[in-house]
Amino acid sequence: MSIHNAGLAALRQRLAQAGFRLTPQRWSVWSALQGLGGHPSAERLYREVRRAHPMISRATVYKALALLCQVGLVTALPGADGAARFDLGPPHVNLACLRCGRIQDAVDAGLLAAVQRVAWRRGFRVEGGVVVQGTCSRCAAKSGHRKRDPRPHEGREAHG
Ligand SMILES: [Zn+2]
Ligand SMILES: [Zn+2]
């Protein structure tokens, strides 16, 4: 099952397995992350949750987010500007732009499996996403760099 599309019941079950209850706050943070898509910062998520729940505090949103990370439902990625970005599981490869901070998904099961295999040989368990740093196509275009050919073969992409 893809946790990306998990509904209320699935989220409740996943939290219960880890020994936590599904509270309205946790649900609203989860829904906001699903609704926004991409890789928002905690601050961006907080603003989104507040649209539906104007009385919710920043601390509540941050705590709910931390819990979702703790139980492995959400992955925190280091952002180029120092602020963590949040990503719905499962782990995947992310392309992070060092200039604008945008993170794109590069969903490629073979690539992730290769990373996991290398890690596993060292007794290292992959629990988070993989971040590849560089310059995105928009920033490259802005700074006048031409895209190189041939383009590498890519998996499905999501922007955000
Ligand atoms: Zn960029
Ligand atoms: Zn991602």
Å from CA of 105 to ligand 1 middle: 14
Ion ligand 2: residues, CB < 5 A: 87, 94, 105
Ligand (nearest to CA of 107): 2
Ligand (nearest to CA of 139): 1
Å from CA of 59 to ligand 1 middle: 30
Ligand (nearest to CA of 103): 2
Q: Write down all domains in the chain, each with its CATH number in brackets.
A: 1-74 (1.10.10.10), 90-147 (3.30.1490.190)
Distance CA(55)–CA(38), nearest Å, equals 25
The residues near 122 (Cβ < 8 Å, ≥ 6 apart) are: none
Question: Which percentage of the chain shows pLDDT scores above 70?
Answer: 84
pLDDT bracket for residue 81 (50, 70, 90) = confident
Residue 54 confidence (pLDDT) above 60: yes
pLDDT bracket for residue 83 (50, 70, 90) = confident
Å from CA of 19 to ligand 2 middle: 26
Residue 112 confidence (pLDDT) above 90: no
Ligand (nearest to CA of 76): 2
Residue 27 confidence (pLDDT) above 80: yes
Q: Is 93 helix (H, G, I), strand (E, B) or coil?
A: strand
Distance CA(72)–CA(67), nearest Å, equals 9
